[in-house]
Amino acid sequence: MRVALGQFNATVGDLTGNAEKMRNMYSQALQSDVDLLAFPELAVCGYPPEDLLYKKHFLHDSRSALEKLAADCPDTTIIVGFAESHQGSTYNSAAVLQNGRVAQIYRKAMLPNFSVFDEQRYFQPGTEPVVINLKDVTIALTICFDISNIEWLSKFLKDIGQVQMVLNISASPFHLGKIEKREELISQCAKEFNCAVSYCNLVGGQDELVFDGRSMFANSTGKLIAKAKAFDEDLLIADIIPGGSLKPALSEVEGRSLGMATPQDAVRVQVKPMRPAAPQPADILDEVYQALVLGTRDYAWKNSFKKVLLGVSGGIDSSVTAAIAVAALGADNVICLTMPSKFNSPETINDAQKLARNLGVKLMTVPIEPVLNQFHETLKTVPGWDNKGIAYENLQARIRGSILMSLSNQFGALVLTTGNKSEISVGYATLYGDTAGGFAVIKDVPKTMVYKLAEHINEVAGRKIIPADVIARPPSAELKPDQKDTDSLPDYDLLDKIVKGYVEEDKSPQQLIESGLPHDVVNNVIRMVDRNEYKRRQSPPGVRITPRAFGKDRRLPITNRYTTCTDKA
């Protein structure tokens, strides 16, 4: 039996566009005589549709789009995810399309409701397994999280008899370390049921999420046989070949026995891919880089922006953001703006120019000094105003934000912000200043990784796109004379360790201190993280690359008096 995995880039709500993409892949798949073509979870409407699912007309239109797809694609069996309204409930379902109509429906049983997922907000769980038979291959249908708990899945499928393949259609977003977990699950699933697994994942950016694709097949020993492209559309085709011996699944004879299939066992169900494996990201940095590029491109394009605009300071964050923007949208579509004040050194201004030349992008210069002076003239009539403190520093950032937004309005270009995760964690940013913009490209990238990304970008390009000085110079916001980030913040190595422990792993200050991190710094950083929730709440979305970003996966109250700090301050 020949299976094609239609890994395509869906857009939420674009019922017509998504169907069009699926029809194109269908035509392509027919040329390879496939028996089964799978599309991702909720492929009809895109993932996650969020509260669109509360609209009856949305569910109705989704159903119509599904039925039209069935009618348009009668010549093979298609499995496709859609949001199903059925007897007053909504389900996250997989439709089996055959002979021009919806032949059968499987309803997702395990609904994730943690991290970025809110599926129990919308869906009722399905309760019945669905098995289909194609060319004498029996196939159990599953959706994404259904295979996350193999023990549960074994019970769920125990009455359906033995299958030769588990098909999983998925919309599994990327974060660092996710692919390893996903491969482990798929492999476990194959071994548990002693069958092949076909896994079709979504690809593309959707607000803060990036779906990384990498659809794959595993044979019945759990070996991963073929993998589709990462961060790109792909149609991955393989033959599923059940062997002669229909020996029972391990679990049926000995209970749950993961990993007990030994290499010398005959392979019960083989997988023969139609072409060599797609190249995969070289390492973690390559993975992150590709995620950022795709996330940025899709946010711009799917929101109908061709061009982006960003401020470049000659610092590392804006340099890396600019390089990613160019990779995402092309140099012609990236406009850089440098907005110097008296606090900007000639070196950083020079580096901004060098960067723009290296990237081949337009650089405009709009000095902020005259506006800043006029603001000061105006504000000094207010008792208590002065041009020494934080307010004056923030004002500079807000003037820059206003200039960027003014030109964005004028030119219809999306403003990219350039803040990294480390500064966003501790609120080392000016609200409506450097946080002003539509998309925050590196908001989930810790500063220490921003440096590594800069080097990765230079390495891949084979030249110093990001000038060496930008990487070497100690970071500064350049909002007052001789300012350094380290005046206000600990070294980024240390800061990033605390942020990871506190934000991503929910560790207490006590645990962090016990792990060897310095007491005072831990307490100070955590206080800053807690106090700056209000800033993050008003900041733009950006690509999630870690297991916990500042987005839908971290929901903390602004009004929050809980403190775990172990000192009295």
Q: Which is nearer to its own copies, 152 or 534 (CB)?
A: 534
Task: Report in angstroms how near the CB of residue 461 gets to its own copies at its nearest.
Answer: 29
Per rule CB under 8 A, is residue 370 in the interface with its own copies?
A: yes
Active site residue 108: yes
3-state secondary structure of 411: helix
Binds its own copies by CB under 8 A, chosen from 139, 324, 352, 431: 431
Taking alpha carbons only, the member of 466, 481, 464, 480 closest to residue 351 is 466
Give the nearest distance from C-beta 563 to its own copies in angstroms.
8
What whole-number distance in Å separates Cα of residue 369 and Cα of residue 325? 28
Secondary structure (DSSP) of 297-313? HHHHHHTT---EEEE--
Q: Out of 45, 73, 144, 336, which one is annotated catalytic?
A: 144
436 binds its own copies (CB under 8 A): yes
**Buried (b) or exposed (e) across 211-234, using 16+ Cβ within 10 A?**
bbbbbbbbbbbbbbbbbbbbbbbb
Q: Are 119 and 552 in contact (CB under 8 A)?
A: no
Q: Which of 89, 99, 510, 515 binds its own copies (CB under 8 A)?
A: 510
Cβ 464 to its own copies shortest distance, Å: 29
248 binds its own copies (CB under 8 A): no
**Most distant pair of Cα atoms in the chain: their distance:** 90
- Concatenating the DSSP letter of every residue in 350-401 gives HHHHHHHHHHT-EEEE---HHHHHHHHHHHTTSTT--SSSHHHHHHHHHHHH
Q: Is 152 helix (H, G, I), strand (E, B) or coil?
A: helix
Q: At what angle do helices 447-461 and 284-302 cross, to 10 degrees?
A: 90
- Span interacting with its own copies, options 227-235, 253-261, 281-289, 375-383, rule CB under 8 A: 375-383
Q: What residues contact residue 67 under an 8 Å CB cut-off, 6+ apart?
A: 101, 102
Which pairing describes strands 89-98 and 101-107: parallel, antiparallel, or unpaired?
A: antiparallel
For the chain, report the end-to-end CA distance as a whole number of angstroms: 68
Minimum CB–partner distance for residue 17 and its own copies (Å): 7
Question: Residue from 382, 463, 472, 482 that binds its own copies (CB under 8 A)?
Answer: 382
The one among 99, 113, 149, 486 contacting its own copies by CB under 8 A? 113
Q: Which residue from 331, 379, 494, 565 is in contact with its own copies, where contact means CB under 8 A? A: 379
CA-closest candidate to residue 278, choices 5, 1, 2, 3 = 5
The amino acid at residue 269 is V
Residue position matching structure tokens 């925050």: 440
204-243 footprint of its own copies as x/- string (CB under 8 A):
-xxx------------------------------------
Reading the block at residue 77, the tokens are: 């069996």
Residues in 43-82 that interact with its own copies by CB under 8 A: 45, 48-52, 54-58, 61
- Would you count residue 273 as binding its own copies (CB under 8 A)? no
Segment 511-530, which members bind its own copies (CB under 8 A)?
511
Nearest approach, Cβ of residue 441 and its own copies (Å): 15
Q: In whole angstroms, what is the distance from residue 431 CA to residue 486 CA?
A: 20
Over the window 283 to 322, marking each residue x when it contacts its own copies by CB under 8 A and - when it does not, the resulting string is: ---------------xx--xx-------------------
144 is catalytic: yes
Task: Report how far Cα 195 is from the mean position of its chain's Cα atoms.
Answer: 30
Whose Cβ is closer to its own copies: residue 384's or residue 481's?
A: 384
Q: How far is the CB of 433 from its own copies (least distance, A)?
A: 9
Among 283, 386, 455, 487, binds its own copies (CB under 8 A): 386
Contact positions with its own copies (CB under 8 A) in 535-554: 537-541, 554
Nearer to its own copies, 423 or 530 (CB): 530
Q: Which of 88, 384, 462, 516 binds its own copies (CB under 8 A)?
A: 384
Say how many residues touch its own copies, by CB under 8 A. 89
Range 387-416, binding its own copies (CB under 8 A): 389-392, 394-395, 398-399, 401-403, 405-407, 409-411
- Give me the catalytic one of 45, 73, 84, 108: 108
Q: Report the SS3 class of residue 6.
A: strand
The answer to the question of residue 562 lying near its own copies (CB under 8 A) is yes
Q: For residue 213, give the 3-state DSSP assignment.
A: strand
Phi, psi angle pair for 199, to nearest 5°: -125, 115
Question: Which residue in the list 21, 41, 478, 507 is annotated as catalytic?
Answer: 41
* C-beta separation of 394 from 341 below 8 A: no
Query: Stretches 202-210, 214-222, 255-263, 518-526: which one binds its own copies (CB under 8 A)?
Result: 202-210
Closer by beta carbon to its own copies, 427 or else 467 = 427
Listed ranges 193-201, 224-232, 373-381, 489-497: which one lies at the site for its own copies (CB under 8 A): 373-381
Q: Which residues are catalytic?
A: 41, 108, 144
